[in-house]
Structures are given as C-alpha cells and as structure tokens.
Amino acid sequence: MATCYTYLEGAQPLACLNADQLEQFERDGYLVAKGLLDFEEDLQPVVDEYSALLDELASDLFERGELTSTYADLPFGERLTKVYANTGQETAQHLDISLPQQGVRADTPFWAGPAVFHMLRNRKLLDAAELFIGPEIYSTPVQHVRIKPPEHLMSDIQTNDLVRATPWHQDGGVVLPEADATEMLTVWLPLTASGIEHGCIKLIPGSHRDHLLEHCLLPTSGYEIPTKFFAEEETIPVPMQAGDVLFMSRWTCHGSLSNTSDQIRWSFDLRYSPVGQPTGRTEFPGFVARSRSHPESELHDPDVWHTRWRETRDRLALRDDPTYNRWTESNPACA
C-alpha cells in the first residue's frame, strides 16, 4: 500500500497525497488531487458569495441603463453570460481577486470577499501545499478568478483571458525575475465541470524541467509562449470536476482550451510560496496563510485582507503603472 503523507487534526486526516502522487509531481510538474475539496463544505460558500455579488452588479448596471434586464430569473452561469454579452470584459474585473496590471483607478473594481479569503486559507489546500513547500506558507497575490462563458456567445465582445482561452505560459514566467528562485506552487481549482468542451487546462508534462521559456506580448491577452519553444505535440488536456485540485510547478507550461460548451467554466488560480520568498509582484498584497513556527503571524481577518487590497488600489491610482513582468515588446525572440 502506498504511504499516505498527511497532517492530522485530531484523528481525521485533512489532506492526503500518496508517495506516487508526489513522485509524479516531481517527474511531470503537475498532479491532480481528485475530490480533495467537498463542494458543500469548501466551495458552496464561494458560490453563494459570488451569486450575491452578481445580483448587486446586475442591479447596478440595470439602474445605470447598461442592462435592459437584471436577468434575476436565470441561474448564475446563464445570468453572468447575459451580463458579459451586454457589457464586455469590464464585468470580469468586478469578479476578479486581483487588480489589473495597468490603468488602476480609484474606482477600479476587484473582489476580496470573506468566502474567498477563507478558501485561500482552506485547511485541505494548506495541508497539501505544506507537502510541497513546507510549513511556512504565504498566500501570494498572483491570483485570479476566471469565469468563462461559452465563447460562441462572446463573438462580438472584446474580452481578455479572464473570459476567453488562456494562452500558453508559465506562472513563474509572468512575474519579475526576483521570484525566479521562489518555490511558487500553483493551485488551480474549478467550481464547475472543467471538461475538454468547457475549456479545461492543457499542459505539457515534464516542461517544468526546461525552466524559463520566452514569453511574447500579445495585443489583448497578456503574454504567450510561442509554440516554437516547446513540444506542442506533447500537450495533454486535464479535465477536472468541482472538488478536484490541480497542483503545478511554477515552470510547467500550460494554458486552457476554448469553452465550446453551453455552460460557464469557473476556476480559481491560486499561488502559495514559502514565507519570506519574493512573490515577483511586490506591489500587490499577500499574507501569511500558515506558520507552524510563528502562528501569531497568520492572517485570520478577511476585513484586513480586503483593506490591504483597497489601500493598494488607492496607492496605485496615484502613480504610473509599475512593472509586473520581465518581457517587453522588443523581445528579439518574438521577432
């Protein structure tokens, strides 16, 4: 029987990854922990929080004349798709758990609600993360929520990769070089079905062994690794269900497929690293999620987390855009 590495609370294991899974992560740069999270216990509070947020957003847009209906009779996914179709990519920023990298204003929307904060501190996620990066865990601000509607309904709407397919990239490649040695762990989890037709993650097993690859600036969707720099024929899709969790190395080359279904695909991209290591995005606020040696340093108050993001927005609104990435338009590899 494979050894189960776990941390315990009382007599109940909170998270368990076996030796074969940990070996796969080292070999392939990723692993999927099936059913690590319970939907009702771990994810439903986030769904409820976002449902209330969408209700508030739709009502506000309706009152301003930007929507002809609040679509209150529709389920969350259909309702959000209607709002997207009428308002474009700006709506996605209201839902995101990070600020944009350009053009932050004093009223730039973001979401830092208590249910999301408690998900970032979820014991099962932190127990699993501890097996990869140790017991001093920092929740880094390199994070997003992506709620992607069916792309065939967005054909006339200008959107970015928070809404459309995500281009090939490495998570360690879209932060500053100061974080190259940081043991940043990607934790990707869906709140809805994430099959091939929904636009699931695609990745290249073993690509983390190539370390940093060249990224090129795209006009509308951030950065992309041109396919000439990796073995695209080795791409595999990674279909998942709500409750599954994908762990990836910071150097694993990945992106997502297009959502060709009739349903939304909803996911969170989270990052954790050892406390004290650079995040590569120092302008944005992170927090100590777990510390076995200094538990008093952990952040437990979601209001403090929200305040830190609000203060960051206020500060950035008064200055020129900082630099968040190492790549420029003049990168010779992109010629």
313's enclosing H/E stretch is: helix 302-316
Q: State yes or no: pLDDT of 238 exceeds 80.
A: yes
Among 42-56, 153-167, 183-197, 284-298, name the one with the lowest average pLDDT.
153-167
**For residues 218-225, average pLDDT:** 79
Residue-wise pLDDT for 255-295, tens only, equals 999 999 999 999 999 999 999 999 999 999 999 999 999 99
In terms of residues, how long is the chain? 335
In 3-state terms, what secondary structure has residue 308? helix
Task: Provide the 8-state DSSP code for 64.
Answer: T
Position 52 pLDDT exceeds 70: yes
Cα distances from 302 to residues 78, 120, 309, 320, in angstroms, run: 29, 10, 11, 28
Q: How confident is the model at residue 7 (pLDDT cuts 50, 70, 90)?
A: very low
- Does residue 140 lie in a domain region? yes
The yes-or-no verdict on residue 3 having pLDDT over 50 is no
Residue 68 covered by a domain: yes
Rounded Cα distance, 279 and 7, in Å: 26
Question: pLDDT digit string (tens) for 301-333?
Answer: 999 999 999 999 999 999 999 999 899 888 888
CA 225 to each of CA 19, 215, 287, 308, 331: distance values in angstroms, whole numbers, following the listed order: 32, 4, 30, 32, 12
Residue 186 is given by DSSP the state: E
For the segment 126-138, the average pLDDT, to the nearest whole number, is 95
Would you state the pLDDT for residue 164? Answer: 86
Mean local confidence (pLDDT), 161-189: 94
pLDDT of amino acid 87: 81
Counted domains in the chain: 1
- pLDDT, residue 19, reads 84
Note the pLDDT of residue 8: 39
Give residue for tokens 């538990």: 295
The enclosing domain of 131 has a CATH number of 2.60.120.620
What does the alpha-carbon distance between residue 256 and residue 203 come to, in Å, rounded to a whole number? 8
Please give the torsion angle defined by the CA atoms of residues 119, 249, 294 and 311, in that order, rounded to the nearest 10 degrees: -60
pLDDT at 299: 98
C-alpha to C-alpha distance for 123 and 105, rounded to whole angstroms: 35
How far is 119 from 136, CA to CA, in rounded Å?
Answer: 18
C-beta atoms surrounding 245 within 10 Å: 25
> What integer pLDDT is reported at residue 2 of this predicted model?
39
- 312, two tokens: 């960051």
Dist. CA 205–CA 110, nearest whole Å? 33
Closest CA to 61 of 72, 50, 45: 72
pLDDT digits (tens, 9 = 90+) for 67-126: 999 999 999 999 999 998 888 656 889 999 999 999 999 999 999 999 999 999 999 999
Domain of 303 in residue numbering reads as 18-316
275 lies in some domain: yes
Decide: pTM greater than 0.85: yes
Please give the Cα distance from 321 to 301 (Å, whole number). 29
- CA proximity to 139, closest of 7, 305, 265, 24: 305
Structure tokens, 225: 């690794």
Whether residue 325 is contained in a domain is answered as no
What is the predicted pLDDT for the residue at 157? 60
pLDDT at 160: 65
Mean pLDDT throughout 4-22? 60
- In this prediction, what percent of the chain has a pLDDT beyond 70? 92
Q: Give the strand pairing for 30-33 and 236-238.
A: unpaired
